[in-house]
Amino acid sequence: MSTRSLAGTDGLHVVGQSVDRNDGVGHVTGRDIYSADRTFPGLLHLKIVRSPVHHARLRGVDLSEAQKVPGFVRALAAADVPHNVYTILGLIGVEPEEEFLLTPVGERVRYKGEPIIAIAAETEAAALDAVARVRLDLEELPAVFDVDEALAPGAPVVTHWGNNTFMYEGHVCRRVRYGDVEAGFAQADHIIEGEYRTSPIEHAPIETTGCIALPEPNGRFTVYTNTQALYFSLDNTSIILNVPGNRLRFIGGMVGGGFGGKVDVIVEPLATLAAMKTGRPVRYVYNRSDEMQVSSTRSPEIIRIKDGFMSDGRLVARKVTGLMDCGAYSRQTPYAVTKFAANAAGPYAIPNVWIDGYCVYTNRTPTSAMRGFGITMASFALEVQMDKISELTGVDPWTLRLRNAYRNGDIKPHRKVVDDATLIETIQAAAQLVGVELAPDLKALTSAPRDEAAHAAHAAAVAAGSALAAGTPAGREGAAR
Amino acid sequence: MASVIVSFELSGRPVEVMVAPLTTLQSVLRNQLGFTSVKDGCRQGGCGSCTVLVDGEPMMSCLLPVEDIAGRRVTTLEALTPPEGLHPIQQAFMDNNGYQCGYCTPGMEMLTKALLDHNPHPTRDQIVDALAGNVCRCTGYRPIIAAIEAAAAAGSAEGAL
């Protein structure tokens, strides 16, 4: 069928050659089955009653008119959810549980679109009609949409613990301290400060988020889902519904665009709960407006950088404050902030570094994973900053970066020994590709350890298979200080 | 309102469906007839993933009440795929990596079929214009444009697509 075959007989020697993708024929013939392409006899459609406002106390819900809609089958409310308060990173020990699957009466909704009631009906039209007839009694509360305002005294409090930051081991931010940053600034020939802002980008996959949950005769539930994180979704569903994981069978694989937007655990617990309560297959698929309004975005960030450097471009101090807006619930953003804190010094050897990374709550749609979240925006800010340093010092951008590049055996500010540096070689290759002639001393640079001590540190880090990945006390302490 | 029976030609064979008024062609193709190459990205004419041919013209099936296509010819990607191997347009999308997640791909290919039927030798600008209603979020459009150019070249070599 294909014009290109795997090279060799084992299919394992293909570097440098074009090979057809396994899923190519299925994609170009349209024969691949995406989760919502399936249908089942008796399939119910699930639609959600969502908060129409950004922040409010839910005083009551009136389902009486909704229940009269022909085709209405079942409404699900907070009381139907066995473990209704969760946080999706709870699986890896992140606390506290904070997000309702369905908001109970008496509690607050914290973003526009937050789910309150789920309605299963015989047709999608009936489900939508019933949703439109649910009456909510909401006491609207002041909302906050800006991270600086959220951190200011007197701001509306979004969380249930009294301030608007995710708490890192008792601290309001993720902190990295290395050397003496003030001494570094005192020693510097020049100082440049910059503020960088990024936007809350919606992934907008062409296939919207969704799943179909199917009760099986043996008491298990099969869930066809387009999640990017199959076992993550399964385990969280198991926790929220308080059923053992072996009663849940999740089938994924085909994802019509994700980009991180299908990592959150949102549709599977509700669809599975509805299948449990009705004994019927249930389809819960976002429409386009759900996808845009309700699904997580990339978190918008404000990054403030103060750099101290010498006239030859060598950085001697870098102080970074990053404010990431997680919206109403933290989801994956605490992890993004930790990644940010570990990377905000950039791939450079800087003797004095101070990093504060904040995960800030607002009444916006929650933010979460998206392509390099935490790192991408930091890299943008840092590299613009590097170009400004280049402009001020007259040291060309290539030389500036090569001069500051970290090497194997160097210690990163969060105490990880660099064991996989390739920046120097990458810049050299890039220069060659675009026809930039580097000075001979820059061409001769390598990422090899600088001295005997660095060599030993590098060897130990490689042998340990990366201290950070292994989660050694030293690695964790460095990042968590 | 009472359901109505609508007859049309689907990829060369006659079909009759019973639908509630204003049911879309997309819904009939996907949910009643099982032609799931017709995708469902927005149901508001914004993405092009549901593109099919109606009397040879590319149309977004999510915006078409099925009553409006009574007596007309509808073609989906299923009809393009030969019993063995690939259609030259599909082959061109394979060879040029003109797909990534695959969700926009059927619509892109149906659009390509209509474009090349009308204009076997489109310029790059004409291809870009033709793609205006079809959204891809994965690849960017360069590999897709390259695939359409390759399909046009294959069509020239073989006489027709």
Same structural domain, B146 and B91: yes
Domain count across chain B: 2
ipTM: 0.96
Place of tokens 């020049």: A190
**Contact call for B137 and A34, based on CB within 8 A:** no
pLDDT number for residue A3: 45
Residues β-bridged to residue A221: A215, A248
Which of B62, B79, B96 is the C-terminal boundary of a domain? B79
**Angle at CA of residue A103, ends A240 and A147, nearest 5°:** 100
pLDDT tens by residue, A215-240: 999 999 999 999 999 999 999 999 99
Which of B37, B61, B79 is the C-terminal boundary of a domain? B79
Same structural domain, B70 and B8: yes
Burial level of A263, CB count in 10 A (0-12/13-18/19+)? buried
Contacts of A31 in chain B (CB under 8 A): 37, 81
Query: Is residue A410 over pLDDT 70?
Result: yes
**Contact call for A30 and B103, based on CB within 8 A:** no
Q: Taking the CB of residue A223, how many other CB atoms lie within 10 A of it?
A: 27
Q: CB within 8 A of A234, min separation 6: which ones?
A: A223, A245, A248, A250, A268
CATH of the domain at B30: 3.10.20.30
Compute CA distances A364 → A46, A100, A173, A261, A326, whole Å: 24, 16, 20, 16, 8
Contact, A157 vs A150, CB < 8 A?
A: no
**Looking at the complex, does the CB of residue A205 fall below 8 Å from at least one CB of chain B?**
yes
Helix (H, G, I), strand (E, B) or coil at A414: coil
Residues β-bridged to residue B54: B57, B74
Cα A41 from Cα A122, distance rounded (Å): 11
Q: Min CA distance, A128 vs chain B (Å)?
A: 15
Contacts of A207 in chain B (CB under 8 A): 39-41, 49, 101, 103
Query: Is residue A356 over pLDDT 80?
Result: yes
Q: Min CA distance, A191 vs chain B (Å)?
A: 39
For residue A463, name the pLDDT band (cuts at 50, 70, 90).
Answer: confident
- Domain hosting B132: range is 82-158
Going by C-alpha positions, the residue among A110, A101, A104, A100 that lies closest to residue A51 is A110
Same structural domain, B153 and B88: yes
Amino acid A304 reads R
Q: Min CA distance, B65 vs chain A (Å)?
A: 16
Same structural domain, B66 and B86: no
DSSP string, A306-334: EEEE-TTS-EEEEEEEEEEEEETS-TTHH
Q: Min CA distance, A206 vs chain B (Å)?
A: 5
**Angle at CA of residue A103, ends A212 and A135, nearest 5°:** 90
Provide the CB-side half-sphere exposure for A143 (13 A, CA).
Answer: 19
A51's tokens: 């908060």
Query: Is residue B1 over pLDDT 80?
Result: no
Contact, A415 vs A429, CB < 8 A?
A: no
Amino acid B3 reads S
Q: CB within 8 A of A49, min separation 6: which ones?
A: A61, A115, A116, A117, A118, A119, A131, A134, A136
**Which domains, ranges and CATH numbers included, belong to chain A?**
1-32 (no CATH), 44-140 (3.90.1170.50), 210-289 (3.30.365.10), 405-481 (no CATH)
Contacts of A288 in chain B (CB under 8 A): 41-44, 46
> Least CB-CB distance to A3: which of B37, B39, B91?
B91
**Looking at the complex, does the CB of residue A258 fall below 8 Å from at least one CB of chain B?**
yes
**Contact call for A34 and B81, based on CB within 8 A:** no
A270's tokens: 């509700």
Q: CB within 8 A of B100, min separation 6: which ones?
A: A257, B136, B138, B139
CA A240 distance to own-chain centroid: 21
A193's tokens: 């400060």
Same structural domain, B86 and B154: yes
For residue A479, name the pLDDT band (cuts at 50, 70, 90).
Answer: very low
Helices (H), chain B: 25-27, 77-80, 88-95, 105-118, 124-130, 142-158
Burial level of A38, CB count in 10 A (0-12/13-18/19+)? middle
pLDDT number for residue A467: 45
**Looking at the complex, does the CB of residue B22 fall below 8 Å from at least one CB of chain A?**
no
Same structural domain, B8 and B59: yes
DSSP for residue B24: B
Which of B42, B62, B79 is the C-terminal boundary of a domain? B79
**Contact call for B105 and A36, based on CB within 8 A:** no
For residue A320, name the pLDDT band (cuts at 50, 70, 90).
Answer: very high
Label each residue of A45-82 as H, E or C.
EEEEEECCCCCEEEEEEECHHHHCCCCEEEEECHHHCC
pLDDT number for residue A477: 37
**Contact call for B84 and A1, based on CB within 8 A:** yes
pLDDT number for residue A266: 84
Contact, A114 vs A51, CB < 8 A?
A: yes
Burial level of B154, CB count in 10 A (0-12/13-18/19+)? middle
> Least CB-CB distance to A204: which of B101, B102, B137?
B137
pLDDT number for residue A216: 97
A48 versus A91: the higher-pLDDT residue is A48
pLDDT tens by residue, A66-99: 999 999 999 999 999 999 999 999 998 999 999 9
Mean pLDDT, range A192-204, rounded to an integer: 96
Query: Is residue A450 over pLDDT 60?
Result: yes
**Looking at the complex, does the CB of residue B105 fall below 8 Å from at least one CB of chain A?**
yes
Same structural domain, B52 and B117: no
Same structural domain, B75 and B88: no
> Least CB-CB distance to B103: which of A1, A256, A288?
A256
Q: Taking the CB of residue B17, how many other CB atoms lie within 10 A of it?
A: 18
CATH of the domain at B115: 1.10.150.120
Place of tokens 């006899």: A41
For residue A5, name the pLDDT band (cuts at 50, 70, 90).
Answer: low
Same structural domain, B18 and B72: yes
Same structural domain, B86 and B75: no
Residues β-bridged to residue A131: none
pLDDT over 90, % of chain A? 88
Cα A407 from Cα A419, distance rounded (Å): 8
Same structural domain, B41 and B93: no
Q: E strands within A123-278? A: 135-140, 174-178, 190-197, 210-215, 221-225, 248-251
Query: Is residue A351 over pLDDT 50?
Result: yes
pLDDT tens by residue, B5-51: 999 999 999 999 999 999 999 999 999 999 999 999 999 999 999 99
pLDDT tens by residue, B44-84: 999 999 999 999 999 999 999 999 999 999 999 999 999 99
pLDDT number for residue A67: 98
Q: CB within 8 A of B148, min separation 6: which ones?
A: B92, B98, B112, B115, B116, B122, B127, B131
Same structural domain, B75 and B109: no
**Contact call for B41 and A3, based on CB within 8 A:** no
A83's tokens: 């473990």
